[in-house]
Chain A
Amino acid sequence: MNVTVLDHAADTTPRASSTSAEIALRGVTRAFGTLWVLHGIDLDITPGQFVAIVGRSGCGKSTLLRLIAGLDTPTSGSIALDGSAEGRRGSVRLMFQEPRLLPWQRVRANVEVGLTHTSDSAERRRQADDVIAQVGLSGRERDWPAILSGGQKQRVALARALASHPRLLALDEPLGALDALTRIEMQALIERVWQKKGFTAIVVTHDVAEVVALADRILLVEDGRVALDIPVDLPRPRRRGDPEAAVIEGQILDRLLRA
């Protein structure tokens, strides 16, 4: 399915912070019992940046994302959004590896889950249909999730996440369960939406090619610490097989496989 409803934004520079969030982590640790998953993370993410977190399984990358998204609280240290540690809920949205759609609600109602703070039902519906169109699913508003394909379900999940105009979108291996082609389509869609809306995006993944295709900045997490912080300064939209991208990809893979 082609998605042509979005216009391509020409610039890729960070935008004004009314649409995007600035994130600052200071000495963040997280322990589960006696197991220390994160050891003192210091991190600054500028508004509108597309950050990718990579690492081997169990390195703590998902824990880090869940902390930033407010689904979990750090054992010590602080996490601030736009300088404030409070009020993260409304402006942060999370997309999971699984679509996590309510099977008993149709597509539109599932997207409206992202609009729980909009009390007017006509307005909620208008906004939901609007964002459904943005992910290229117009005409499917009345469908049950059960009849959608894996990629379409993830589009609905993306629409639900975008519905409330989040200033930070956190993606936890959102494309891990999709086939290769659907995955590339979804990457392009996420990139276009990000360029148009200008939110800050953080994606956790173990697909190194995906990281290089999407991110402005790559954080490689190893044993609960940020081991590498690589800026990716390539023009968008990025072509697959670009030699410069291949160099960065090789650099990350080397580090991951060395451990």
Chain B
Amino acid sequence: MKRIIPWLVPATIVLAWQAASMVGLVLPEFLPAPTAIAVTAANLLVSGELWTHVRTSAWRALSGFAIGGGAGFVLGMANGLSSLSEKLLDTTLQMVRNIPNLALLPLVILWFGIGEEAKLVLVSLGVFFPMYVNTLHGVRSVDQQLLEMGRAYGMSERQLFLRVVLPGALPSVFVGLRYGLGIMWLTLIVAETISASAGIGYMAMNAREFMLVDVVVFAILIYAALGKLADSVARLLERVCLAWNPVYAKA
């Protein structure tokens, strides 16, 4: 029963939508029925077209996330641990942070065209800042009493980092990770919609040209599903890595 509850609302919406389409309340040119979209989805799946687009988008998302998230994590750690590094870099990073990454879209297209690099740069940049800010916050909020204990018990700097700082910062890093995942999809959708030759966003824009509303709606649904999938993976990681924390253990 507990597993069903979260899905009650989406299921009701889909059923109401289907009913509205069947009685003619919603015109198919405006919004096709769920069944019609399911048929479209099946066709795209069989033709292999869907797989190509999903694979392209997923690859862009993951590689951009790995680059931007990795850099954000490393710099957040560095600036949290070293005051020299923080003095040197933090002001610059905070200035750049206030530029919406999508504002760079025209510039990125001019520099990289509509190739893969453009998408990679935008996604990396979008993911970088939530990871950076939250990692830095996590390192800074590590319990000073535990650090003192670690030093008093003769831990080396390396042991202090691995046994006290890193695990202490981890809950905050996960906040950055989940926030970054949201920005990752947002950036990718916009970038693919404006300039791409493959990917789910491209599929949707292409379909718009031919008034294929069913494909457009289906593309949006795929984004929703992929976003949910990414969030579930992050939650699972959280539960494994933060099993010690009663807040996450029971969730």
Contact = CB atoms under 8 A, between A and B. Distances in A.
Contact of A114 (B148, B153, B159, B246): B153
B80 to A, nearest CB: 17
Interface in B143-199: 145-146, 148-150, 152-155, 159, 163-164, 167-168, 170
Contacts of A100: 145-146, 148-149
Dominant secondary structure at the A interface: loop
Interface string B66-107: 000000000000000000000000000000000000000000
B145 A116 contact: no
Given A90-B154, A116-B159, A103 B148 contact: no
B244 A113 contact: no
Contacts of B243: 144
Given A71-B152, A89-B154, A117-B154, A102 B146 contact: yes
Interface in B96-145: 145
Contact of B152 (A69, A103, A146): A69
B164 A146 contact: no
30 contacts: A71-B148, A71-B152, A89-B154, A94-B152, A96-B145, A96-B149, A100-B146, A100-B149, A102-B146, A102-B163, A102-B164, A103-B244, A104-B167, A104-B168, A104-B170, A105-B163, A105-B244, A113-B150, A113-B153, A116-B154, A116-B159, A117-B154, A144-B243, A144-B244, A144-B246, A146-B244, A146-B245, A146-B246, A147-B246, A160-B153
Those 3 A-B pairs whose CB atoms lie nearest each other, nearest first: A104-B167, A100-B149, A104-B244
Interface of B: 145-146, 148-150, 152-155, 159, 163-164, 167-168, 170, 242-246
